[in-house]
């Protein structure tokens, strides 16, 4: 079957709701936190040399940049179509290119010609090094886009906070460029002590943060839902995290070749004002915020929060459908979703949250809702007497419902 016929069949079969296959991504420099429901025997399913699986990507049209051993299509989400006894698959990326606005809606297709965000569960046992995602003006020098990202820590995945549930953000107010320069000059001397210039915040399950491009951050070890712009641009500014040494090539990653070795360029990549903001938490910490007055939603059988907001490149909501309720939820734009809890029906699909997933196994916990289906309203019913349905929904840029 051609890409077009699989994509059209998927839209037709799901009545505008596309079923996606789990999309596992290993990282050679990370140790898995083992909170993303993968079978304990499968965390090294790509082979020990590829590193453990500590990410599951959602609604991704972005390939993972995992070095020379990256497997074909790693990082790309696949749409699954059942055709009698056969299962057909096509990448969300190819399906969107083929049927254009039919999946993501004409507004996003006309502006981007692609689905320009993705989200993931990030599940690392330790903290990541203090690193930075370039702003557009620096990313474009290496043919990439700047990358803002946001965090939300689902309570369902965080009974255990792992090794370091604190995140360093930015630089302390008053830090000088000479102090940062000295750390970067010391990159090859073991611990360059860059986090001595920063401050860490305790991570609280059920809350989140926004980090725009150009801000240093060393994500802590809570299991994190992470909506972000579709880009993989970064540079690591910290040389030692926990017990792990970071190779110097990662300090210079995504630096134009003629600037490699130039520490002034690394300093230029840092958005100084944003990093040294004395009110950093007030500007970046995010409490969930109801999308409508809570009483109205509860009377209809659900509760929905914005969890990622005040962002232009993407947004995210957490939807809870109470036990025994059937609700119709309308959204102005296309979205991907991942189920965190419960079971029931969403449109034509049976949905359920797995307790355990084998590598390569299909699930019924991840879908992509086309713009037309989102606008018409998705019917979700929860047959349980006790268990809510909880899902996270990731949206593209300039969500028409944001700010309402
Ligand atoms: Zn990052």
**56 alpha carbon to ligand 1 midpoint, in Å?**
15
Q: What is the pLDDT of residue 114?
A: 96
Separation CA 276–CA 231 (nearest Å) = 25
Query: Up-side HSE of residue 165: CA atoms within 13 Å toward CB?
Result: 16
Helix (H, G, I), strand (E, B) or coil at 318: strand
| CA 397 to centroid of chain Cα atoms | 14
Supply φ then ψ for residue 275, to 5 degrees. Answer: -70, -35
**212 alpha carbon to ligand 1 midpoint, in Å?**
10
**345 alpha carbon to ligand 1 midpoint, in Å?**
35
The beta strand positions in 146-241, using DSSP E, are 149-152, 166-169, 199-202, 208-211, 217-218, 224-225, 228-229, 235-236, 240-241
Helix (H, G, I), strand (E, B) or coil at 306: strand
Give the model confidence (pLDDT) of 127-142 as tens digits: 999 999 999 999 999 9
Q: What is the pLDDT of residue 14?
A: 97
The beta strand positions in 237-301, using DSSP E, are 240-241, 244-245, 285-286, 289-290
Q: What is the pLDDT of residue 399?
A: 87
The rounded percent of the chain whose pLDDT value lies above 70 is 100
Give the model confidence (pLDDT) of 134-172 as tens digits: 999 999 999 999 999 999 999 999 999 999 999 999 999
312 closest CA partner among 138, 116, 72, 139: 116
Q: What is the pLDDT of residue 227?
A: 98
253 closest CA partner among 149, 105, 138, 344: 138
Q: Which are the contacts of 277, defined by CB distance < 8 A and separation ≥ 6?
A: 170, 173, 283
Separation CA 272–CA 277 (nearest Å) = 8
**201 has a pLDDT exceeding 90:** yes
For residue 232, what pLDDT band results from cuts at 50, 70 and 90? confident
Separation CA 89–CA 95 (nearest Å) = 10
Separation CA 102–CA 18 (nearest Å) = 12
Give the model confidence (pLDDT) of 283-335 as tens digits: 999 999 999 999 999 999 999 999 999 999 999 999 999 999 999 999 999 99
**331 alpha carbon to ligand 1 midpoint, in Å?**
28
Which structure tokens are listed for 45? 């399913």
**218 alpha carbon to ligand 1 midpoint, in Å?**
7
**305 alpha carbon to ligand 1 midpoint, in Å?**
24
Q: What is the pLDDT of residue 242?
A: 86
Q: How many CB atoms lie within 10 A of CB 72?
A: 6
Q: How many CB atoms lie within 10 A of CB 89?
A: 14
Average pLDDT, the chain: 96
**321 alpha carbon to ligand 1 midpoint, in Å?**
32
Separation CA 287–CA 284 (nearest Å) = 10
Cross-strand bridge partners of residue 89: 80
Q: How many CB atoms lie within 10 A of CB 316?
A: 26
**244 alpha carbon to ligand 1 midpoint, in Å?**
17
| Range from 37-41, 66-70, 236-240, 400-404 carrying the lowest mean pLDDT | 400-404
Q: CA-based Rg of the chain, rounded to a whole angstrom?
A: 21
**133 alpha carbon to ligand 1 midpoint, in Å?**
6
**222 has a pLDDT exceeding 80:** yes
Q: What is the pLDDT of residue 404?
A: 54
Burial of 227 (0-12, 13-18, 19+ CB in 10 A): buried
Which structure tokens are listed for 275? 């990093």
Separation CA 216–CA 237 (nearest Å) = 8
Q: What is the pLDDT of residue 403?
A: 63
Give the model confidence (pLDDT) of 32-64 as tens digits: 999 999 999 999 999 988 999 999 999 999 998
**60 alpha carbon to ligand 1 midpoint, in Å?**
17
Separation CA 375–CA 238 (nearest Å) = 45
For residue 241, what pLDDT band results from cuts at 50, 70 and 90? very high
């Amino acid at each position: 079957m051609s890409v077009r016929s699989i994509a059209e069949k998927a839209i037709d079969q799901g009545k505008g709701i596309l079923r996606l296959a789990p999309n596992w991504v290993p990282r050679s420099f990370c140790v898995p936190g083992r909170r993303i429901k993968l079978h304990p025997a499968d965390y090294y399913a790509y082979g020990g040399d590829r590193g453990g699986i500590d990410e599951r990507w959602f609604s991704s049209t972005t390939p993972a940049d995992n070095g020379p051993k990256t497997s074909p299509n790693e990082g790309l989400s696949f749409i699954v179509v059942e055709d009698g006894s056969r299962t057909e698959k096509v990448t969300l990326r190819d399906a969107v290119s083929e049927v254009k606005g039919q999946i993501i809606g004409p507004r996003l297709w006309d502006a981007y010609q692609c689905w320009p965000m993705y989200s993931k569960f990030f599940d690392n046992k330790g903290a990541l090094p203090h690193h930075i995602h370039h702003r557009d003006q620096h990313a474009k020098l290496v043919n990439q886009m700047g990358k803002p990202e946001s965090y939300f820590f689902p309570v369902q995945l965080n009974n255990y906070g792992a090794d370091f549930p604190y995140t360093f953000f930015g630089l302390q107010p008053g830090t000088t460029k000479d102090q940062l320069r000295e750390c970067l000059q010391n990159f090859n001397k073991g611990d360059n002590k860059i986090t001595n210039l920063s401050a860490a915040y305790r991570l609280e399950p059920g809350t989140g943060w926004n980090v725009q491009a150009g801000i240093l951050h060393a994500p802590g070890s809570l299991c994190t839902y992470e909506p972000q712009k579709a880009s993989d641009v970064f540079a690591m500014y910290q040389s030692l995290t926990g017990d792990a040494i970071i190779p110097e090539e990662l300090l210079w990653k995504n630096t134009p070749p003629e600037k490699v070795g130039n520490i002034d360029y690394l300093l230029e990549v840092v958005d100084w004002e944003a990093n040294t903001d004395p009110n950093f938490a007030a500007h970046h910490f995010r409490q969930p915020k109801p999308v409508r007055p809570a009483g109205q939603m509860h009377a209809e059988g659900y509760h929905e929060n914005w969890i990622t907001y005040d962002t232009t490149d993407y947004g995210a909501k957490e939807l809870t459908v109470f036990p025994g309720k059937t609700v119709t939820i309308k959204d102005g734009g296309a979205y991907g979703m991942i189920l965190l809890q419960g079971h029931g029906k969403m449109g034509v699909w049976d949905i359920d949250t797995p307790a355990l997933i084998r590598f390569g196994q299909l699930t019924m916990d991840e879908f992509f809702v086309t713009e037309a289906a989102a606008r018409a309203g998705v019917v979700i019913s929860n047959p349980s007497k006790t268990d809510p349905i909880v899902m996270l929904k990731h949206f593209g840029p300039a969500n028409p419902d944001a700010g309402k």
